[in-house]
Structure formats: C-alpha cells, structure tokens
Structure 1
Amino acid sequence: MILDNVTDLTARLWEYFRELDIDYLSWVLWVIYPVIISFILPAIILVFLYASALFLVIFHYRERLRAAYQHDIWDGARKTLAALWSGQGFVTHGFEIDGLDNLPEEGPALIIYYHGVVPIDIYYVMAKCLLEKGRLIHAVGDNFLFRIPGWRKMMEVLNVTPGTVQSCVDVLSRDNLLAIAPGGVREALFSDENYSIMWGKRTGFAKVALQANVPVIPMFTENVREAFRTPQWGRTLLRRLYEYTRLPIVPIYGIFPVKLVTHFGEPIYPEPGSTPEDFRDLVQTQLEDLIRKHQRLPSNIPRSLFQRFWEKPKNS
C-alpha cells in the first residue's frame, strides 16, 4: 500500500514538472533577480558582518570565560551571557560607560537608575561590570518577570529578586552592589521624551540606603527611551489598565540602533538624621541633574541616530 502511494506521488510530481512553463519561470527569475542582488544578498552580508563583530567581542573575553567555567559552572554561564550582552550592546548601540570608576572595587553600594521602556542599559552595565570589574550587580525586578515561563532560573542565576526593604538590606550587608529603578514599570511605560522621573511617594530605596548605611550612585543612560518606544495613542486608557491590573499591557516598538551612553554620578552618602523622604528627594534631584546634563530634551529618535552614526565617540 505504502509503495503504491509513493509510486503514485512520484508519477504526479513528474507530470507536474513536465507541464511547467520553463519560459515563464525564466521570466519570473529575470524579474526578481535584481531584487535578490539589490536587497537580499546585502542584507545577508550585513548579518554576517554583525555576527562577526559580535563573535570578536566575545572572543576578546575567551580567557576569562575559560577560567570562569573551570571555577564554577554558573559563574561561567553568567560571564558567557555577559560577553553576549556586551557584544550586542557594542554592535547595536556603540554602548559606552562614563564614570564606571564611581562604582567601588569592593564593598556595598546602591545604584539608582532611570527606567527606560526596556532597561537594556542595566543589562549592558551588569555585563560590563562583571567582565571588567569582576563584580556581579544584584538587581530588583518587577514581580511579573518571575511569572514569565522559563525566566525564573535566569532571574535566580543573575541574582534578580522582587526585593523587599529587608532583603535588599541583606544583599548590601554582604558587600554586594545592588541596582534599583524606583520608577519601575510605571516609569518605563508612561514617562515621556522629557525623561520625567515617576517615583511618586516611593521611599523604599531610601529606607534601604539609610538602614544599610551605604552610598547611593545615580545612573542614567543617554537615549535609553529612543532605543524602545511606547505609542502615544491610548496612553490614558493603558495607564488606567496598568494601575488596575499591574500588568504591562502596553505595545512596545524598537529596537532602534541609537547611541547609548551610561553615566554614573558621584556617590551620595546618607547623612545622620535624614528621613527617607529627604534622602529620596536628594537622590531624585541628583538624578534629574544627571539627565539634564547629558540628555538633549525633548529627545527624539533621528537625533539619537545621528549621534550614533555621525558624532565622534566621547571616549574615542
């Protein structure tokens, strides 16, 4: 039975090919050939060039990756991911860091940063810090991240936690670096081209800094809102929906290859007797100063692209 079916199918295919109009196929090929030459092949070459650049960035860290895997399998996994993210940041955004020396070589510190639509900047910073300084930055992530199928193990390996005041204090008490974006998902989705900080009355990070008695280092990444965007239409309705459900049901579009430069400010040390509200306001003021100093406002994508491809790199 099976042999008969195969024979019948073969006969039908042969009859089909005999009836093909070779002249018509030749004409179709002649029509689409310029498209193949003009668009598809250059795109393939471009993909290979970017893949080559990414490979070389990873290859640059080959000795550190080999040593990491020999020491601990998860340390090797973290550094491999760090090399991939570092390479992707360099190739796509020409990613740079200004003021990395403000992060201590050892001892605790709390990094407070502005939350972009997609916080790719903190991924790049975590990667660079792990590869260049040998320090893993712990981070606080929104609860919904831990409900995404398959992400829990990644969050665990990269030391990303939902974070309570006490758990954050515990992380810092073990001399770790900890990164928090007080604006969270609300700031990511509903801030604007003026990079408005949306912390509201949140004082959690200030309580952490005061209880742990650690310096706060403000961090801002130039053009981070231009890499990914949220649409302007329906924003009021989507904001209400988010406040009711706490789910980030907002369309996101990108990724635009804009220039990204992360800036670290000077450490801010808690003063004796400061209240969480006072310390929060102080940190917010310092972060707003960092934004005004390094971001052209209001921001736009074309200008950020110009900065990526035509302006001279600051650290060249």
Structure 2
Amino acid sequence: MLGPFVDLNIDYFRWIKWSITIILIPYILPAFIAIFFTLSSLYAYIYQIFSRNKAELNSSGQNTCGPWHIFLSRIWNAQARLWHGYEVEGLENIPADGPAIIVHYHGAVPIDVYYLIAKCITDLGRLLSVVSDRSLFKIPGWGPLLQFIKATPGGFDTCMGILNEGNILIIAPGGAYELQFSDSNYELKWKNRVGFAKLALAAKVPVIPMFTKNIREGYRNLTWGYRFRHWFYATTNLTFVPMYGFFPVKLKSYIGKPILYDGNKSPEMLAKQVAMSIEDIIKNHQRIPGSILHAFAERWLTSSQEKTE
C-alpha cells in the first residue's frame, strides 16, 4: 500500500534536485572564474616570493614577460580555448613594439581582456597593461595577480607614464557603468567620456578598437531592479551587479585597424571615431540581440562541423 507514496516521494525529491540544479548552476559557475583568478593570484604571489630579481616587480620601462608570465599565460590560453573556443582576429593590428591604447567594449565580466593579455604574452611577447576598476584591487587575494599583469586603477598621469615607457594600455571607456547597464543589444554606454581620447592625443599614440563576440552571452547581468541599481550607482558610484553565466559559448575577439594620431582632431572627434569603429565591428560580427543558445551552437556545433570537414 505504501508503493505509490514511495514513488511519489522519489519523484518529488528528483524534482527538487532538478529544480535546485537549474536554479543554482548559472550562479555557481561564475565562482569557478573567481577561483581561477584566485589560484592565478596565488601563483603570482609565489613568483613575488621566489623571484630572484624582485626589483623587476616594480621596475619602470617597457613591460617584460619572462618564463613565469609565459607559463601562466599558457594555462589561461588552454582554459580559454577549451571552454570558450577563444580566438583572436586581427592580432597583427597590435604593434610588436611601441605604445598604443586598445579601447574595448566592457562585458559583464571582462574575461576577454585577460584572455587577450595571455594571448599577447605567448604570441607577441608583449605584456599589456590594463586599466582595472578600483574595486578589483580591494578583493582579498587578487592584488598579486593585478600587480603581476601590470594592472592599474588609472589616473591620467599614471596612464601617461605607462605609454611614455613604450607600453600598450587597455581601456574600457564605459567602465563599471557599461558593465552594469549594457545588455545583449551591445549598445556602448560611454556617457560622453573622452578621457582615453585626451590621453591618446597627449601621448600621440594610435588607438586600436576591440570587441569580443558573445561576451554578454558568456556572462550576463540580472535585469531586475534596473532603476534601483541605476540609483544606487549614481548615488554611491559603487558597482552592484547580480550576474550569472560562465556558459561555454564561443568567444572571439576582433582587433580593428589602428586609428593613427592626428593632431587636428579634438578628443570628442577621436572618441566618436573609435566608438563608430567598435560599433562597426559589433554590426559585422555580433548577433543582435545576443542569444545564449546561438552562441552555444557557435562554440560546439560549428567547431564539430569544422573538425569533420
């Protein structure tokens, strides 16, 4: 007589297990990236301890990448390739030497920037500096990694010094605002910011546009509470981004042609030209609005077809 009730209980617990899995997995997966960052930072900390030339950690001059950087970059390259089938098109547009500014669209998680840094270390032998949000420097345990890759919280004089030393600087004009309030329609959210353009004109360096296809499909923000989050950011200038993802979708970075220095351009003119270049890349390569299922198919079905051919 208990048979039907036992079956009902089993089905009920199966349903609970299925529901928990469906609900939690999208939020648990991003934790793996945080763990990956933390382990990489531990590696960077060990490097700081055992480096024979510790003065190199804070040295001035052109960024150099030795065996420690190459080893960690190969691990990042492997993770990027295995999980996202990550590729870069237009890597030749990044100069082999000399300063430049790479301007990119800011996804919910800018993992593509770190993938590009790793790719440039192994393929070009160049360590790129990146302007990172100040909040990242406050995350316990991440400091050694940010120092390891020469990340900076920004500032005009600091960035100018990096460029004057012959380095490449990666900047997202939209910053935390674009991170929080852009979506799968991939609209640039720069709020008329032209600081990077002023920097490029002052340093007389080229500006290179960059966009990564499906970056919003790999990692997404929750859409609820938009007005509250917008008010919270405007009031406190703090980032509050409930997100989910780390989906194994196809990621591909497109590096556009460099926009060379032109002293006749104003910062506003240069910023508009760079924005139009990124928008052209988005128009030519990104499905609008973005689709997680389509990006997933690009990663796995397209790759399988290419292998069979």
Q: Does residue 242 in structure 1 map to residue 255 in structure 2?
A: no
Aligned residue pair count: 251
* Mapped partners of 1:315, 1:70: distance in 2: 46
Deviation for aligned residue 1:77: 3.2
CA distance in 2, matches of 1:282, 1:249: 31
> What is the aligned counterpart of 1:158 among 144, 149, 154?
149
The aligned residue for residue 33 of structure 2 is none
Residue 192 in 1 paired to residue 179 in 2?
no
Structure 2 counterpart of 1:109, from 92, 100, 111:
100
Stretch moving more, 190-199 or 238-247: 238-247
With over 3 angstroms needed to count, the CA separation of the structure-2 counterparts of 1:177 and 1:314, relative to structure 1, is: farther
Which whole-Å CA distance do the structure 2 matches of 1:313 and 1:294 have between them? 20
Contact 1:166–1:208 (Cα < 8 Å) also in 2? no
| TM-score, length-scaled by structure 1 | 0.75
User: C-alpha offsets along residues 128-174 of structure 1, whole Å, 9 cap, x if unaligned?
Assistant: 10011100000101111111122222211210001112211111111
Residue of structure 2 in register with 1:283 after alignment: 274
For the structure 1 residues 315 and 96, does the alpha-carbon distance in structure 2 shift closer, same or farther, using more than 3 Å as the test?
farther
Return 5+ residue gaps in structure 1 as ranges. Answer: 1-31, 33-68
Partner of 2:298: 307
CA pair 225-179 structure 1, distance change in 2 beyond 3 A:
same
Structure 1 vs Structure 2 CA RMSD: 2.4
Is structure 2 residue 287 aligned with structure 1 residue 273? no
Return the offset for 1:255. Answer: 0.7
Cα distance between partner residues in 2 of 1:287 and 1:148 = 30
Percent sequence identity over matched residues? 42
> CA, structure 1 residues 313+294, in 2 after alignment: closer, same or farther (shift >3 Å)?
farther
Give distance in 2, aligned partners of 1:308 and 1:112.
25
For structure 2, the residue ranges without an aligned partner over 5 or more in a row are 1-13, 15-50, 58-65
Deviation per CA, 1:263-305: give whole Å up to 9, x if none: 0000001212211111111111111111111101111101110
1:177 & 1:92 partners in 2: Cα distance? 27
Inter-CA distance 108–315: structure 2 relative to 1 (3 Å threshold): farther
Q: Aligned equivalents of 1:270 and 1:314: distance in 2?
A: 43
Q: Are 1:233 and 2:221 matched, yes or no?
A: no
Closer, same or farther: CA 294–315 of 1 in aligned 2, 3 Å: farther
The answer to whether the Cα contact below 8 Å between 1:111 and 1:219 also exists between their aligned partners in 2 is yes
Taking a change above 3 Å as real, the CA distance of residues 302 and 209 of structure 1, as seen in their structure-2 partners, is same
CA 1:70–1:105: 2 relative to 1, 3 Å: farther
1:97 aligned counterpart, secondary structure: strand
Alpha-carbon shift at residue 312 of structure 1 (Å): 4.6
Worse overlay, 204-213 or 233-242: 233-242
Q: What letter matches 1:116 in structure 2?
A: G
Instruction: Describe the SS at the equivalent of 1:149.
Output: coil
Deviates more, 1:209-218 or 1:247-256: 247-256
RCO greater where, 1 or 2, for CA within 8 Å and sep 6 or more? 2
How far residue 236 of structure 1 moved from its aligned partner, in angstroms, is: 1.6
Paired residue for 1:223? Answer: 214
Residue 259 in structure 1 maps to residue 267 in structure 2: no
SS at match of 1:135: coil
2 CA distance for matches of 1:314 and 1:287? Answer: 29
Cα distance, 1:226 vs. partner? 0.5
What is the Cα deviation at residue 246 of structure 1? Answer: 2.2
Cα 1:130–1:313, aligned 2, differ >3 Å: closer, same or farther? farther
Q: Which residue of 2 aligns with 1:181?
A: 172
Compute the TM-score of the two structures, normalised by the length of structure 2: 0.76
Secondary structure of 1:161's aligned partner? coil
